[in-house]
Amino acid sequence: MVSASHSRNRSYISILLYIEAAIVLSLGLWLIFFSFTHENEEVAPLLGEISFAILGAIGLFAAGRGYVRGRNYGRSPAILSNFIALGVAYYQIQGAFYIGAIIILTLALPTLYFAFSIAKTEG
């Protein structure tokens, strides 16, 4: 039997993953816009970044859908992507881009908390 708090945690993590997916997709779309408005000397790396942003957004969205549907297939990608986000936040702090680090940490830490709390209760 699924408790109300367990269901609520699944809702929270899915919302956080959807927000992360929207942010990553927005960054990918911004890179597309940026490529048209600025002179590009290296097209291949830019296309790689755009591709990874779009694929990452799709993966985060799929992980969020997995949590909404009560499936476990979103658990590992959600945890892995947010551990990567912690590393990105660390480098944002090293580069004195504190607002970026705060935004990343504001999403990554609660997502990791809810993912681990769900994993703990489900075994």
pLDDT tens per residue across span 16-32 = 999 999 999 999 999 88
The total number of structural domains in the chain stands at: 1
CA distance 40 to 35: 6
Q: For residue 1, is pLDDT > 70?
A: no
Rg value, the chain, Cα: 16
pLDDT of residue 2: 59
Taking residues 87-110, report their average pLDDT.
Answer: 94
- pLDDT band at residue 46 under the 50/70/90 scheme: confident
Interatomic CA distance for residues 110 and 123, integer angstroms: 20
Q: Residue 42: give the domain boundaries.
A: 4-122
Which pTM value belongs to this model?
0.87
pLDDT band at 57 (very low <50, low <70, confident <90, very high): very high
